[in-house]
């Protein structure tokens, strides 16, 4: 089934439905863990104020989470009055997660701890991705990353999060891949095949949406409640964050952005993919007889591309500025965040060029968002994949608003 095929409308759960004790406890535990993650560390009194839970309830939850090895007790902090407060933080080895990014030119595997810190990473590059090759890489790579784990550490692996482009077979022409070989993805259920190799829960998400999730959990999401996010890879994509939560939409394609209509210099209607993607720079280099492999073999090796890179940055910024304005005309975003599979200095140049382009556009009636560089960087897609099991098992769906202090 196509990922963008119309899905039957599901009946929403009755919002008046109650919650039993187990569900309430699980919700409150996730709420506490989410607050601690977002703020780094918090004492019991602060958690009670921010969550609306009673101090007694928070004490019980924190003792339980500490016993389970998920929270770590800090050094008592003396205040002006009363007992010293004890800040609690996430215990780094309380949980682990594996991320797998399947890209058009390379695949990455990463093992992270509960704080999202990278414990190991592997990369495989290729001309184009084939399902069986990716599966072999995942099988051998995950075993290699976890080979020194004890049985206790293995038991704390929350799952494997896969970030990948939807409908890979539709992009064969643009990445110069044989259509008959890319068609192998059409009926290949990667989740089922990976589940046959590992007993951990498997999560699948669009790669750019996963990158957006990484920025939410480990980047600007710590300070922003909503933003529109663009990730420039082989093809441009992105995501939407509302109320501290990634909004993926009914079929998981919200914020994809690549198919967004764009107008080229001749007035022809094209798509954002055709103007703000690395493959357009790759095509130009190929036509000029310049080695293009550094673009997707190494995010650091972009030196020496000269005027071709300058032109690409200018064109990319022009079209992203228009896409930002179009997005903000629908939702009043606080910020627009730009990241991609390139060196940090390239990201900086694109963001500065976007700010200049925005000044030339008619934005009357709109509150122009802050345009910011992504914090997570070129690894955002694989880190976003690794986020999925942790979010699913431990953290709160933050569409349910936190009762935050102002």
CA distance 251 to 30: 25
- pLDDT, residue 373, reads 98
Q: Is residue 16 scored above 50 in pLDDT?
A: no
Nearest residue to 179 via CA among 163, 168, 188, 165: 168
Average pLDDT over residues 122-135: 94
Q: Is residue 1 scored above 80 in pLDDT?
A: no
Convert the pLDDT of each residue in 369-384 to its tens digit: 999 999 999 999 999 9
Burial of 25 (0-12, 13-18, 19+ CB in 10 A): middle
- pLDDT, residue 316, reads 97
CA distance 70 to 115: 11
Q: Domains of the chain by range and CATH?
A: 21-74 (1.10.10), 95-210+383-394 (3.30.420.40), 220-375 (3.30.420.40)
DSSP state of 375: S
Q: Is residue 18 scored above 90 in pLDDT?
A: no
Q: How many helices (H) and strands (E) does the chain have?
A: 13, 14
Convert the pLDDT of each residue in 164-221 to its tens digit: 988 889 888 878 899 999 999 999 999 999 999 999 999 999 999 999 999 998 899 9
Strand 118-125 and strand 106-113: the pairing is antiparallel
Average pLDDT over residues 253-270: 91
pTM (2 d.p.) = 0.84
CA distance 210 to 246: 9
Q: Which residue has the tokens 């008046």?
A: 16
More reliable by pLDDT, 365 or 4: 365
- Under the banding of pLDDT at 50, 70 and 90, the label for residue 7 is very low
Q: Is residue 224 scored above 70 in pLDDT?
A: yes
φ/ψ (deg, to 5) at 123: -135, 140
Instruction: Tell me the average pLDDT of the chain.
Output: 87
Convert the pLDDT of each residue in 150-164 to its tens digit: 999 999 999 999 999
């Amino acid at each position: 089934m196509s990922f963008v095929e119309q899905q039957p409308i599901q009946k929403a759960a009755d919002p008046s439905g109650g919650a039993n004790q187990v569900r309430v406890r699980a919700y409150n535990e996730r709420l506490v863990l989410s607050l601690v993650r977002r703020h780094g560390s918090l004492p019991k009194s602060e958690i009670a104020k921010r969550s609306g839970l009673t101090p007694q309830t928070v004490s019980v939850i924190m003792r339980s989470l500490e016993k389970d090895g998920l929270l770590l007790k800090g050094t008592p902090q003396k205040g002006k009055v009363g007992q010293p407060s004890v800040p609690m933080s996430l215990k780094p080895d309380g949980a682990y997660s594996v991320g797998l990014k399947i890209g058009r030119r390379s695949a990455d595997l990463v093992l992270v701890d509960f704080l999202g810190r990278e414990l190991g990473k592997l990369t495989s590059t290729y001309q184009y991705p084939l399902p069986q090759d990716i599966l072999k890489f995942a099988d051998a790579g995950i075993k290699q990353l976890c080979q020194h784990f004890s049985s206790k550490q293995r038991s704390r692996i929350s799952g494997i999060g896969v970030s990948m482009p939807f409908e890979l077979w539709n992009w064969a022409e643009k990445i110069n891949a044989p259509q008959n070989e890319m068609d192998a993805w059409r009926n290949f259920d990667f989740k089922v095949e990976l589940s046959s190799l590992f007993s951990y829960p498997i999560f699948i998400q669009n790669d750019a949406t996963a990158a957006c999730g990484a920025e939410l959990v480990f980047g600007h999401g710590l300070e922003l409640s909503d933003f529109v996010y663009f990730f420039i890879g082989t093809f441009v994509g992105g995501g939407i964050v509302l109320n501290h939560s990634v909004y993926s939409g009914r079929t998981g394609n919200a914020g994809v952005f690549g198919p967004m209509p764009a107008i080229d210099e001749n007035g022809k209607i094209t798509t954002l993919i055709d103007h703000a993607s690395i493959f357009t720079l790759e095509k130009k280099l190929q036509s000029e007889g310049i080695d293009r492999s550094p673009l997707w073999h190494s995010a650091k090796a972009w030196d020496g591309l000269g005027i071709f890179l300058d032109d690409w940055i200018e064109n990319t910024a022009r079209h992203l500025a228009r896409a930002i304005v179009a997005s903000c005309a629908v939702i009043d975003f606080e910020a627009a965040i730009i990241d991609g599979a390139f060196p940090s200095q390239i990201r900086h140049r694109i963001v500065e060029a976007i700010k200049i382009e925005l000044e030339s556009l008619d934005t009357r009636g709109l509150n122009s968002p802050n345009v910011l560089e992504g914090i997570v960087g070129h690894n955002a897609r694989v880190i976003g994949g690794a986020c999925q099991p942790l979010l699913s098992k431990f953290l709160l769906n933050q569409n349910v608003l936190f009762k935050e202090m102002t």
